[in-house]
Chain A
Amino acid sequence: MTMAWLSEFLVSALILIGAFFLFVGSFGLMKLPDIMRRLHAPTKSTTLGIGSLLIASMLYFALLRDEPSLHELIMSVFLFLTAPITAHMISKAHILRSRALQQELPKPPGEEGWATLDPHGVDEARSTEPAQPPR
């Protein structure tokens, strides 16, 4: 077992793991019954799969081709930062759009509803006096 064989095996295993998790995420997106449950599959599993693929790519270019690059690190940091933000925004838009869910949930403290970014029409209809003078 040489070093090159070991690194090839490592890269192949990471590629297969990443593809498997991407597949699981998309399968969950297709199969799960509800949008709140559907939201779990892509945001967790797919992010894990992409991270594994990027680690595989980094190892491949560093170990087997002797040209290490940091592009993958930028991409994985960006993806790991942005996946929760998109999931949060999608769930927030879902709560705002479904009236039944808003009545079912307990009321949050404060003046705002569950979706703190209300649509335009609601804002203008609710406020009788101008809330803040224009700066």
Chain B
Amino acid sequence: MIATACLVAVGAISVSAVMNLYRLGRGPDVLDRILSLETLVINTIGLVVVIGIWFGTALYFEIALLFVAVGFLSTVAFCKYLLRGNVIE
């Protein structure tokens, strides 16, 4: 049962990643692209967690943790750059 649920979840998350890529290419503004990158990172975290459940290893959580930190930092750095024209002052 868990394997079937993981299969369905991986399919749904892949479709949502494709939708994020559509917004990433299409997005009329830079902020749309930043937002869709952030959502793409969150979808990747979900994918990694589901695959970790599916394969039954706890090895993938460190990867997911790194993805969380890197996604947040990159979004904040992009927004800071747009707000101030500089990242580190």
Identify the A interface with B (CB < 8 A): 8-9, 11-13, 15-16, 18-20, 22-23, 25-27, 29-30, 35, 38-39, 42, 46-47, 49-50, 53-54, 56-57, 60-61, 65, 67, 69, 71-72, 74-75, 78-79, 82, 85-86, 89-90, 92-94, 96-97, 115, 117, 119-121
Contact = CB atoms under 8 A, between A and B. Distances in A.
B2 A60 contact: yes
Contacts of A20: 12
Q: Which of B17, B22, B29 has the most CB of A within 10 A?
A: B29
A85 B71 CA distance: 12
B16 A16 contact: no
A78 B53 contact: no
Contacts of A65: 56
Q: Which of B53, B56, B61, B65 has the most CB of A within 10 A?
A: B53
B16 A82 contact: no
B65 A23 contact: no
Contact of A57 (B32, B53, B72): B53
B85 A57 contact: no
Given A12-B1, A15-B9, A119 B83 contact: yes
